[in-house]
Amino acid sequence: MFLEQTGNRTHRKGWIEVICGSMFSGKTEELIRRLRRAEFARQKVEIFKPGLDTRYDEVNVVSHEGTTIRSTPVPNSSNLLLLAGDIQVVGIDEAQFFDEGLPTVCEQLANQGVRVIIAGLDMDFQGRPFGPMPHLMAMAEYVTKVHAICMHCGELATFSHRTHVSQELVLLGETDSYEPLCRSCFDSARAAQEQPAAQQQHGQ
């Protein structure tokens, strides 16, 4: 944690880091790695996740690789300010599921001298910017984009293609509902999904 001397006062300097990418790209694994290093340095660390994310565990944050770290589920971003207290490093997983107030909360924490590390999907299943992530990426001092491997061609994947028929924006799922794809394979898969619907409308 950086310290800055101002007159006779010394205070911590905070900042925001964003780890983004598609599903299965290792975002949570990287988040946990950074938080473990902070814990090793004996810094006060707390990690939060949205209360709706119960895929692997109701409380802990769990990566696809099975790495686990203790976390605190919260219903909305305002809870972070109440729970952060004298924490030096705050981790936030699945940031795309939080409300639009999250960027303001993260900015407040950083201004208070907290290192804020955020992990989340940068795009939804339709390839559009997801929730508060674009705002967070724009205001962050550091942005790391990680990549998965395209399940169709083996190139770097940046898109999370939903194989499930649901059109709901939020659909918690794993390999049974999503697959990482490169741009070309994502466009082809989306076109293949849209074709039957267009044919059905034309038939009506």
Closest-CA residue to 24 (of 151, 164, 187, 192): 151
The catalytically annotated residue of 17, 30, 46, 94 is 94
Cα–Cα distance measured from residue 175 to residue 45, given in angstroms and rounded to the nearest whole number:
31
Residues 6+ apart with CB under 8 A from 63: 26, 28, 29, 32
Cα–Cα distance measured from residue 187 to residue 152, given in angstroms and rounded to the nearest whole number:
12
Known catalytic membership, residue 141: no
Tell me the catalytic residues: 94
